[in-house]
Amino acid sequence: MIDTVIFDFDGTLADTNNLVLNSFKHIYNKYYDGKWDEEYVLSTFGEPLALTLKRDFSGFAYEEVLASYREYQADRFEKEVTLYDTVSETVKYLHKKDIKIGIATSRIKPPTLFALKNFDLDKYFQVVISAEDVEKHKPDKEPLIKAIQGLDSSAENTLYVGDSKFDMECALNAEVTPVLVGWQKNSGELAEKYKIKHVLSKMWDLTWLI
């Protein structure tokens, strides 16, 4: 019986796509004279920011590039980031039904906690596993296993809701039931590739799986 739901954050609970894309565009303009591949950047969504920046901006000082990325986002998050349709209602419904709720994200913890508080959802999540909480990041199973342990749950009773290939592979590696959100443009491709049984058209659809 499903008694636990763990969520990814970016692209799953909150629409951060434009903010993240524009942040990357900003640093590509600064360090590579605007030469960038949007499709490639989109393909990195779901992996830790530090990994992406250290790999793709290896010729520059990591801390400087990170500061430029963060500087662009300053004061923009609250204006540009919104929850996806029915996310708030679904989280509150799960909480009311005594479902254990957590997050396993490749984001760092402070902005994740800030975002949850900003959306008035922080009180519903019993555990938040972020990039600095693990040694191995998604698609490795460690983030999900830590979240499951923190919720005193089990893999067979857990759904993991995400939007990227990293999320789906993480769920499968942890032997957790993967649930794919259907509102990203590559959702159909991912569902077919990973043979995902549960694809959501809106977050409220999740309540039918509980």
What positions carry a catalytic annotation? Answer: 8
Confirm if 179 and 198 have CB atoms less than 8 A apart. yes
- Of the candidates 64, 59, 71, 84, the residue with the CA atom closest to the CA atom of residue 22: 71
C-alpha 157, offset from chain centre: 20
- Of the candidates 28, 147, 159, the residue with the CA atom closest to the CA atom of residue 99: 159
Compute φ and ψ for 42, nearest 5 degrees: -60, -35
The CA R_g of the chain, rounded to the nearest whole Å, is 17
